[in-house]
A and B are shown apart, each in its own frame.
Chain A
């Protein structure tokens, strides 16, 4: 790959708008850039516009205004070149349930102009990597949910895309399979493929992604690196399992301590506050902490705050319009 090719962003979304025939304004001027090689999180609550955005990037949805460039190729004016770069794993199962995984993968290669002989080799490679080779000749409707999800990843890899878009790929998948899927996708990313991920499992996004965009009500409400975003979290909530919390609880500045039941306490505290003083205060009251955990994943806490803020803002706007 030449340096000029590397400097071209994998994805460049410019003032993208979409209003459906029903009048629903799904995207209200989205702009974002994903650099080549990134592992990028695209998050937002249900109905935020994520699927519409992915639909436009993959040319399944026609934009009302704005443009999307994939490695410099406009989805509107150079659709064929742009689509050659993309692999899409959609949210919903969308393959022929009467075909076999091998046929589905080989046909997908064919749609990208890949000769059958080459497609057969690639299909075997990806079906093996995703632990589906023993089901290569099974009818897909007999596969489990996790197998169907992995098949969609194998299918998306058939054209060896430079940009892989994963729209909630682990929905309904058990933890073991989810981990194996992420291991595979991390390997793909390490090999140079840009990955865009939408997921409702925010710990996945926190663990895997380097940069993040959060959208809500068709607008970008946060667009930064994961590190910077997490540093914004100034308050954390911990849950302590304790031996006995019947007595009076200690009072500490910057710590809000609450009793959930006789053996569980919740502490909301500033990130600047150290935990040692809290433990010491609890010990002084004869309360022994047996275990502790974060009440919510750090990204989850930030996400909820950002989206709540966005909802409050748009709620205000709605009530003004109604008035």
Chain B
């Protein structure tokens, strides 16, 4: 197909994904809103008010606990929803076999991947905006570095969409798409500096925490919103770009070989 036709195909998948997200909004958009509201109430207002200042912000202004965790909570919602969207949607297409609609069409593998990743990123964006709006009821958010905020959101959402795609490709039953979020994604997110500053951890936990890629995403996003970060931003971008490159190549290779899709 020519470039124009490929774009139409990509747009069709994206549109179908967005339609699905909005059609089942009570499963896609409402749960993160409720969960994150509870986080803000319990960890932010009730417990956070007793913790005091977490860091010095731009111009030496103190950053309260609720301000400190807000970017992490937004990023957590983005990561979980980007991952969850692509696993449930692509595995659902495999399970009901309508993935064959795309496999028998002339559209290239990259268009299939890009369409599903776009859908996942858009759900991450919708959920991120919802959580951001909820956070404004509890604290003030300043957008210190808009480019860093947006680029970190985009890279993190793409990374977890690609990881979700790999999960969906290999999954054979619904249990297979629940295991990774429960036993890998959630622990890594909680240990990724959402609720605490890793610099406060004792050795070797501080060093071990630096092996967690989510730490870099949370801190880069925090830098964008609050102007402070526990890690070097250059490392954060290097790691995120490396993940995007490696995972994209891997996903395309899986699609080209038809792993889990063509017998």
The chain A residues found within 8 Å of chain B, CB to CB, are 20-21, 55, 58-62, 79-81, 83-84, 86, 88, 90, 92, 94-98, 103, 107-108, 110-116, 155, 159
Contacts and interface: CB of A to CB of B under 8 A. Distances in A.
Contact of B98 (A94, A114, A159): A94
A108 B262 contact: no
Nearest to A55: B263
B12 A111 contact: yes
Given A81-B106, A111-B9, A60 B262 contact: yes
A113 B96 contact: no
The 5 tightest CB contacts between A and B, nearest first, are: A113-B5, A110-B12, A111-B105, A94-B97, A80-B106
B108 A80 contact: yes
B101 A95 contact: yes
Interface of B: 1-2, 4-6, 8-9, 11-13, 15-16, 19, 23, 93, 96-98, 100-108, 258, 262-263
A113 B104 contact: no
A79 B16 CA distance: 24
B105 A112 contact: yes
A108 to B, nearest CB: 6
Contacts of A55: 263
A95 B98 CA distance: 5
A62 B263 contact: yes
Given A108-B101, A112-B5, 15 more contacts: A55-B263, A59-B103, A60-B262, A79-B106, A80-B107, A95-B96, A95-B98, A103-B19, A107-B101, A110-B12, A111-B101, A112-B1, A112-B9, A113-B2, A116-B8
Nearest to A92: B97
B170 to A, nearest CB: 15
B104 A83 contact: yes
B8 A115 contact: yes
Given A62-B258, A98-B23, A113-B106, A84 B97 contact: no
Contacts of B11: 110
B45 to A, nearest CB: 39
A60 B12 contact: no
Nearest to A88: B104
Contacts of B105: 83, 108, 111-112, 159
B192 to A, nearest CB: 34
Nearest to A84: B106
A96 B89 CA distance: 11
Contacts of A155: 101
A270 to B, nearest CB: 47
A59 B262 contact: yes
A90 B263 contact: no
B189 to A, nearest CB: 30
Contact of A113 (B8, B23, B101): B8
A112 B96 CA distance: 21
B119 to A, nearest CB: 13
A178 B98 CA distance: 24
Contacts of A108: 101, 105
Contacts of B101: 94-95, 107-108, 111, 155
A114 to B, nearest CB: 7
Contacts of B15: 110
Contacts of A84: 1, 106
A261 to B, nearest CB: 47
Contacts of A58: 104
A272 B5 CA distance: 60
A81 B1 CA distance: 7
Contacts of A103: 16, 19
B9 A113 contact: yes
Pick the most buried of B1, B96, B97, B104: most chain A CB atoms within 10 A of its CB: B104
A97 B1 contact: no
A59 B1 contact: no
Contacts of A60: 100, 103-104, 262-263
B83 to A, nearest CB: 21
25 contacts: A55-B263, A59-B103, A60-B262, A60-B263, A62-B258, A62-B262, A80-B107, A81-B106, A83-B105, A84-B106, A86-B104, A90-B100, A94-B96, A95-B96, A95-B101, A96-B93, A96-B98, A98-B23, A103-B16, A110-B15, A111-B102, A112-B9, A113-B8, A116-B8, A155-B101
A162 to B, nearest CB: 13
A112 B8 CA distance: 8
A7 B163 CA distance: 48
A159 B9 CA distance: 13
